[in-house]
Amino acid sequence: MNTMSLTTLERGKTIIDAAALEAFSAQLRGTVLSEGDAAYDEARTVWNATVDRRPGLIVCCVGASDVISAVNFARENRLLVSVRGGGHNIAGSAVCDGGLVIDLSLMKSVRVDVAARRAWVGPGATLADVDKETQAFGLVVPTGINSTTGISGLTLGGGFGWITRKFGLTIDNLASADVVTADGKLLRASQTENPDLFWALRGGGGNFGVVTAFEFQLHELGPQVLAGLVVHPFADAKKVLQEYRKALETAPDELTCWVVMRQAPPLPFLPAEWHGKEVLVLAMCYCGDIDAGEKATHKLRAIGTPIADVVGPSPFTGWQQAFDPLLAPGARNYWKSHDFTEFSEEAAAVVTGAIAKLPGPECEIFVGHVGGAAGRVKADATAFPQRSSHFVMNVHARWREPAMDKACTDWARAIYEAAKPYAAGTVYVNFMPEDEVDRVEAAYGGNHRRLLEIKQRYDPLNLFRMNQNLRPKENLRAA
């Protein structure tokens, strides 16, 4: 390796000589990439194509010892450092310009203990990796809705999806984690070991260290669930949403139904004349007995006169991947999000009005239905505080050409501002784009002060700052 100039924590530059780089590389089981290496461009590419950063070094870790070496090297040289799991985060915080990336994507192991109903998962695993192994035994951990998402970022931010109402958030099913902290120590975090760190990891994002293994509690489910889509003409949106809200008032925990509003993609079950036209979709999943699911989904499926109803028995792993084609890597993306305690008539009017102004065919708004088991956890039981929010709105601007950047981001921001008066004030950290640093305190609400104190204890240097960052010293002084 040649001498390198790398970006520091202060965004300056430091020179690392060739001998130091060679010594560092020699400590690793994995490899170190830099610009010019064949695998460099692939390793720096993330899901959101608006993110185009060029790290100085990418450390491709294959075990906890590599992570420890990388953290120590970054700290000792005061290097700007980011951590990459699945690279799916909207803010693109998995990569940094000029600094060091700790790449965990090769650490993809998933081991299931059927008798104990536990899974041990590597930090580079995707949701598809986890589902593949757990569903082989009729078991599941609640995660998100896009199978290419990485388990690490999803879990550390909270994690919710189709079965959250029944089994809780992903963090509610986290039994322990192995964590490399900023001082290079490998700690186990659980209810009995380093419980303050365990509390912070469950929703506090990547602020406290690099998780090298997750232990999850598993639940019986599958292999089939009742799931699918009911597609309505957008002209009926107001009436459909009114009936949707009523139907959910008596929905059991096993039933989850999300609303998606967008132009209809060319799905094979939709008549060709609807392709490209605005539609409202009720996407639902019942995680229980199929016959009971037919009864539980009746009110939702009886709403209005849909264009198509393709709800039926489906392999759970297939349903988990149903939205993957619409969320594939390579597009430019920008999100704005609100939590709602109720999806009021006024909030619905804002959302439906915005669909008439879609800036592109891939832009959409979804409203996620949560609550249930996740809502029965105390707000201060984990770092994730928004337990009273029963709906999550995500304005998903998605496009291909840089020339559309302003139109798409302006559209998302306008909806966010218009919906703000009806929102809870909190936000899901995994849905926060890079420019929302001012929302971090609101995201954590009453848990923010405790998170700052734990951050100060475990990462006073703020080595782990490429995230929705909790800046320890200045924030504690101001608090």
When divided into structural domains, the chain yields a total of 3
Give the C-alpha distances (Å, rounded to integers) separating 183 from 159, 186, 195, 429, 462.
27, 9, 18, 25, 11
Residue with tokens 């430091």: 14
- Cβ–Cβ < 8 Å for 423, 338: yes
314 in Cβ contact with 228 (< 8 Å): yes
82 with 192, same domain?
Answer: no
Same domain, 171 and 84: no
Other beta carbons within 10 angstroms of residue 342's beta carbon come to 12
89 & 143 share domain: no
Question: Does residue 264 sit in the same domain as residue 299?
Answer: yes
pTM for this entry: 0.96
| Residue 246 CB partners (closer than 8 Å, separation 6+) | 299
Residue 204: helix, strand or coil by DSSP?
coil
Same domain, 269 and 349: yes
Alpha helices in 136-236 (DSSP H): 151-157, 164-167, 195-201
Residue 477, pLDDT above cutoff 70: no
- What's the mean pLDDT in 62-77? 98
- Per-residue pLDDT tens over the stretch 3-29: 999 999 999 999 999 999 999 999 999
Does residue 479 carry a pLDDT above 70? no
Segment 216-244 shows an average pLDDT of 97
| Mean pLDDT of the region 222-231 | 96
CA quadruple 53, 58, 64, 67: dihedral positive or negative? Answer: negative
How do residues 180-190 score in pLDDT, each as one tens digit?
A: 999 999 999 99
Pairing of strands 57-60, 100-103: parallel
What number is the average pLDDT over the span 157-180? Answer: 98
Q: Are 226 and 285 in contact (CB under 8 A)?
A: yes
Residue 198 to residue 383: CA distance in whole angstroms: 9
pLDDT tens string 252-293: 999 999 999 999 999 999 999 999 999 999 999 999 999 999
Q: How confident is the model at residue 378 (pLDDT cuts 50, 70, 90)?
A: very high
Are residue 271 and residue 359 in the same domain, yes or no? yes
Mean pLDDT of 234-243: 98
Contact 209, 470 (CB under 8 A): no
| CATH code assigned at 46 | 3.30.43.10
| pLDDT of amino acid 475 | 57
Omega before 325 within 30 of 0, i.e. cis:
no
Instruction: Please give the residue range of the domain that contains residue 386.
Output: 224-437
Shared-domain flag, residues 153 and 258: no
Q: How far apart are CA 174 and CA 153, in angstroms?
A: 13
Q: How confident is the model at residue 222 (pLDDT cuts 50, 70, 90)?
A: confident
Q: Given this model, what pLDDT does residue 389 score? A: 81
The CATH number of whichever domain residue 119 belongs to comes to 3.30.465.10
- Number of residues written out for the chain: 479
Any idea what the Cα angle at residue 131 is, between residues 125 and 132, rounded to 5°? 90
Rounded to 5°, the CA angle 364-346-302 comes to: 70
User: Which pLDDT band holds residue 446 (cuts at 50, 70, 90)?
Assistant: very high
Query: Two tokens at 42?
Result: 């692939």
- Answer whether residue 460 is part of any domain: no
